[in-house]
Structure formats: C-alpha cells, structure tokens
Structure 1
Amino acid sequence: MTAQEESETARQTPEPPAVIRAEHISKRFGAVEALKDVNLHVRRGEILGLIGDNGAGKSTLIKTLTGFHQPDRGRLLFDGTPTVLRSVVHARSLGIDTVFQDLAMINDLPVYLNLFLNRELTHGPLPFLRRSEMRRRAREALDSIGISIPSVDTEVGRLSGGQRQAIAVARSVYADSTRLLLLDEPLAAMGAKEGGQILRLLRRLKERRDIAIILIAHNYAQIVDICDRVNLLQHGEITLDRPTGETSVSELLELVHAEYSVD
C-alpha cells in the first residue's frame, strides 16, 4: 500500500466514540466559580492528559466526572447518552473509576484483599470469603498488566509507593465494568524507579486500547511521553486541547505560566 493510500485509509477510518463528553460544565461554590463552560472528551483507548496550576479546577472537574459533584450547568454524555451521575457509586456502576493520591488502601491487609476491597468474593449467600479464588484472580490480574509483586499474600504496607499505586490502578482496571479510569497525580512524590513502573503500566493499558484514561500530572515530560492528547485547565476553563505530538514540554510550561509573567 502506498503512503497516499494509507493516508486515505486513515481518513476513512472512523474515530472511536467518546466514552465521556462534558459539554459547557459549570460549578460554583458560593462566590467561587470553580468551573465555567468546560468542554472535554476522551475516547476508548485514549489517554488524555489534564494539566493546570493548583486552583485551576482540576479536582472539581474530576469529582464532577465521577459523580461526587453535580454540575450547576451543562451536561455529561456517557457513550453518547446524556447522563446524570447521581453519586460515586452510580458512576462506578457505569464503569467510571478513580485512583486518588491517598489510594484507599489498607496497609494491614494482603495484596489480594486490597485488590478485591469492597468487591470480595463470597460463597453464595454465606459470608465466607473465597480466599483461594481471590488469590488466584489477583495473581492473574497483576500478571496480565505486568505488575511484579512476589506474593499476593504480602501486606500492602510492606510494599513500595510505586507498587501500592500499581495495585490501586490494577484494582480499577481489573473490574470488568471499568470503561473510564481517572488517575489523580499517580506519579506524585515518587522516585524515578517507582515512577517508571507506573509509566510502564500505563503503556500496557494504552496498548490494550479498551478503556479511556484521564491522567492528571504536573510533570509535563510524562504527559507528552504517555498521553495522546493534552487539555490545559486555567481558571475553570479548558484553554488548550491538542495532540501531544503537536506540542512540547517547553510550550506547555510557557502556556501554564504565561499569566504570571511580568512585562
């Protein structure tokens, strides 16, 4: 096939639909307008990088996309259908899951029980845990996305920060219903080795092309490296939506900090 024919084929191939789309979302807390007229979308198999300084509205936007906050104006479409997310539980039932910085892990419990936290397998109506089955599935889940942990019986508190973060991501990814995964600063306060482990995990998820991911990060080199597109949120508005291949770290830094420059 010639280069011209490949280009024509690429143009004719439809893009996958947006898993979630935010249209004209606004959210106010008293006198503070945290979000104003936000438009955002992310497709299946895509990683969208969300950047912006502290106070730009990133946390409010993430909490709106996961049902924690209700928008004052605008609407959300999930798989093309207008959807009101009534709660975090409702959002999770649709396949929207979030990994926050605090991870919601219990250090005294082993890896396999943290992986099934609030999703434990039991013997029918009896309240007895199917521990062997959870161990087997936990090992299978970790191996499938390349997470190296010697034993699923190891207490989470004995693992490194990168390993704990990887388990939190695996817990969301392994849930059969997960369609959209939101990661809030998964690389924060990590060294190069641990951060590299998470980046490798994200690359594996990207190769699978079966879920949409929104990644919040302050390291723009990582955003350019791992994400397909980048959105810049400033003062509650998306001011940039661009493929990462068409931007650079220096340009993103300049855009983010332009408002603080002095003539």
Structure 2
Amino acid sequence: MKALLSARGLRRSFGHIRALDGADFDINPGEVVGLIGDNGAGKSTLIKALSGNLALDEGEITFDGNRVNLDSPGAATALGIEVVYQDLALAPHLNAVDNVFLGREKPRPGLLGKLGFMDEKRMRSEAADAFLELGATVRSLSDPVGAMSGGQRQGIAIARAMNWADKVIILDEPTAALGVVQTKNVLDSIRRVKDRGIAVIFISHTMPHVLEVCDRVQVLRLGRRVAAYERGEATAETLVGAMTGALDMDGGTK
C-alpha cells in the first residue's frame, strides 16, 4: 500500500541540539500508527514538522505520493491533517460548539452572513453530531469548556479534529491524566476514526494503550527511527527496550 503521509531523512537542529537526525516516518490510509520514544527522542519536533508548525533543515515529506511543503499549519490543514496537542488548545471561556468551529465559523446564508452573523443553529447541530459519532460525553453544549472534566475536554478536542480532518489526525498523549472510563472512551474514539478511513498517529508513553489500538508502532530514539513493528510483533518490554537502546534494530539484547 502506498503511504498516505511519509517523511524521509528529516533533520532539524536547535543550536547545538539536533532534535531530528535523519528521521523517517510513514502511515497508510485508515491506519493507526503508534509513535513512541523517550523524552527528547524527537517526537514533538517530528509532529510539528508534519503539521506545518516547524521548518526543517533537511528532508522530504510526501503526501499521497506527492512531495509537499508544509510551511504553515494552514498548508497541513488544507491536506486534511489535524492535530490534538497534549494541552488540547481549547479556548476555556468558550463553549463546546464555539471550540469546534473556532476560526471556522459558519456564516448565515444571504445578507446576514455577509454582515457577520453566524449560523449558530447549524453549528450546534453539526457539533452535536460530531460528539455523537465520536461517543464523546459532553454534558452541555452551552457551558464554557474550562468548567468541564478532563475527559469531556479531551472528547471536544478530538471531535473538533474529526470534524475537520479527512486524511490524518495526530493525537499527542490523548490519554494522559485521564481516568479509566475516560481513557476507554478515547481509545474507542481512535477506533471510530480509523473506521472512517482516517489515518491516526498516536503518541503515548503508555505501552498497553499503544499495543491495544495500533496497527503498527514506530520508535524514535535520538532523533531517528530505530525500530518499526507490525501488530503482534512487539511487547511492552520490546518497545521499552527499543526506546532506551537496550535492543538493537533486530530485537537482540545489546
């Protein structure tokens, strides 16, 4: 299968620190790929490059077989790539509907839309449909999201990404600091996204979650991809060994 999103030989330095040192990555349509690595492995730098938030020193990114220049978040969004960052990037004073459509508000038809009036009824309906499809528990569409639980806010952020992405969603530690029930909802959401044919990049330090939902796992260490596993090929111990350098590329102990 031809990769939907592919990166080859990505390099990026910050002063004397080389965050990416020839990193590779690839993901196919409708696939969940785990991206793991210890702190400082280059995960955040890689996803910033793939989402148009960071310029590269070297390397090539291709999308659907064509080389692309992701020089801004808008360039990534235009390709159907959305990111849910660990801090969620929600506006806490706005409600769930306003957060889903933040920066993408739908104007009313006709003259009222030209005068700046928003189609609040339509946005509310589409947001409710997005939450329903995701299985997200959002107790109120009118309360500010800052007053909601971590699980509800996580659901809103993922629903927003699902509502706009039609190719790739990048999830940065989506289960961090969530309870058992909330975590299950997020993992179920990832499966629903996959069933829609959208590719999901799942970044997590929680190995059981990675093994549960991912079709493949790619491991970064010191700015490079050092291992890649198909579903069923690795255990939590194997993944940790690859992350720390205790295992070589062939899975042997050093």
TM-score w.r.t. the length of structure 2 is: 0.91
Q: Which amino acid aligns with 1:70?
A: A
Number of residue-to-residue matches in the alignment: 244
Are 2:63 and 1:78 equivalent residues in the alignment?
Answer: yes
What CA distance in whole angstroms lies between the structure 1 residues aligned with 2:193 and 2:105? 24
What CA distance in whole angstroms lies between the structure 1 residues aligned with 2:199 and 2:71? 21
Are 2:166 and 1:181 equivalent residues in the alignment?
Answer: no
Shift of 1:35: 0.8
Q: Which amino acid aligns with 1:160?
A: S
Match for residue 190 of structure 2? 202
Provide Cα deviations, 1:53-97, integer angstroms capped at 9, x if missing partner: 001111111111111112211100011101111111221122111
Match for residue 119 of structure 2? 130
Q: Which amino acid aligns with 1:223?
A: V
What CA distance in whole angstroms lies between the structure 2 residues aligned with 1:73 and 1:231? 21
Q: Which amino acid aligns with 1:147?
A: A
What CA distance in whole angstroms lies between the structure 2 residues aligned with 1:117 and 1:68? 18
Q: Which amino acid aligns with 1:224?
A: L
RMSD: 1.6
Provide Cα deviations, 1:160-179, integer angstroms capped at 9, x if missing partner: 1111111101101111x531
Shift of 1:233: 0.1
Shift of 1:259: 4.9
Q: Which one of the candidate residues 235, 241, 249 is aligned to 1:254?
A: 241
Match for residue 144 of structure 2? 155
* Structure 2 SS opposite 1:18: coil
TM-score w.r.t. the length of structure 1 is: 0.88
Q: Which one of the candidate residues 237, 244, 248 is aligned to 2:231?
A: 244
Q: Percent identity?
A: 39
What CA distance in whole angstroms lies between the structure 1 residues aligned with 2:134 and 2:184? 14
* Structure 2 SS opposite 1:70: coil
1:172 and 1:178 in contact (8 A); partners too:
no
Is 213-222 or 243-252 further displaced after alignment? 243-252
Residues 22-41 of structure 1: matches in 2 within 5 Å?
22-41=7-26
Are 2:82 and 1:93 equivalent residues in the alignment?
Answer: no
Provide Cα deviations, 1:107-130, integer angstroms capped at 9, x if missing partner: 222111111111111123221111
Q: Which amino acid aligns with 1:144?
A: E
Q: Which amino acid aligns with 2:231?
A: T
Are 2:102 and 1:117 equivalent residues in the alignment?
Answer: yes
Are 2:91 and 1:106 equivalent residues in the alignment?
Answer: yes
Shift of 1:29: 1.5
Match for residue 179 of structure 2? 191
After the TM superposition, which segments of 4 or more aligned residues of structure 1 sit over 6 Å from their partners?
none
What CA distance in whole angstroms lies between the structure 1 residues aligned with 2:7 and 2:245? 26
The unaligned stretches of length 5 or more in structure 2 are 248-253
Match for residue 208 of structure 2? 221
What CA distance in whole angstroms lies between the structure 1 residues aligned with 2:79 and 2:204? 25
1:21 and 1:40 in contact (8 A); partners too:
yes
The unaligned stretches of length 5 or more in structure 1 are 1-14
